[in-house]
Structure 1
């Protein structure tokens, strides 16, 4: 939690970004947030609204990519009764709903050129008509847009208007992917886990495995993996074996160089066994699988090293 904003901010990169977002929030400038899918663009948008002078007014979030093409204009700008078949009453659009507040346009790169033209005019302060309307509507809304696309590339290809890009890009904030801020992985994992399963924990090997993985789906993928592992966890400690198989491939390797070079073989073996047990919170069956030996062999070795009674 960051001063009232539900966000896990641990890495220096994200701390700097949040500090910038707080400064930007005090202005009325349009903000363009970029970053890979699932990296947390909505969290930054909500932080800007939270720290702004408009915080007591509505924050309306719209996923432009989820709006059917034939309904985009009527959803954004509203429509009058009888404007088209099924328009049985007047409906205000998202812009009006966000009056004096903030309108968050997620996946702005998905808008069609026709809608981009009208959006640009509204952003420039020009009153507009609802679909089928005869009376102009004026709104005062702070615009925050987000995209996982490369809008400059889209502009070069003619798929996104250059003038709209520069109107949205008054201030640009980029969220680094999760793999570039690994300090956030374990705090985020614990947050997702304890929100639903407060009695569960991760063993050290599972934590290192999560940190080693590349997270192409970013925070959204991490959340799904954590909750899935919790569902299938047979005890109160999540080990690497509860993680998906493609993530288990990133389990840390035991480094024999940590032991003194001159250490006797049995001392090195004992050290490996103890590390495996620590990594599985003492679960002998899982430790045996990590070591590549049977549960019976592990028990015998534990007795030989006086690590287990019997």
Structure 2
């Protein structure tokens, strides 16, 4: 991907090195890339309001006594869970990190250009999302999340969250290397932002509150595949600008293949549990990204009315 020298987005918030602590509201999520360790909790799931209030009261009491539970958790709770996620350090930045940040800034800027144009053609105004870079854990409007959750979008604050160490995991553990594979990750999360602006996410999250876990997972798959399709649309417009290199499309399709629910479950546990899928199979993710890439049209991304 010929990205160097292109405009970088001003909508990057660099929170790397900060504690990321705090008690979030534990709200619903907009979605993420999907990994064995899970992600942000679904709308309607998680702790009750009463439980949250009790935890907040306990936290404040301990804080008044000079006991900071967040510091204790930060020192002793470094486990990343089943995905074996490589947590980033909070030390000084290095040239490689700086270049990756610049790359993410360019990709985000390209998504801004693409979706501003598409929304304008529909008579709508596109609101640029913020992209938050963090290390280890972060407090969002959707709750306190660790890097093990993978990249995610929070509809509560219209922000995409990314620990750039995830790109190393993609290459070293998932077999998904290449700059356009990384760009696909960002474009997928921005796809959830597009869903939010179009009113799709609020409607879906409301519906999922009334569903069984199995039906909620099926609805989640449709949401994620549509975000893949929207990422493909962005890829199409990027190609038309002439900044894609030979092999870039293959990198994105390989990434989609490597992060399918079935592929990840086979790698992590040796077998698949289809009823637990909530992001889509490898074949589905490849198909819907390519569908968006080939057509460049929102109407081609209706995963809710068409068979997935």
Q: TM-score, normalised by structure 2?
A: 0.22
The structure that has the greater radius of gyration is 1
Q: TM-score, normalised by structure 1?
A: 0.22
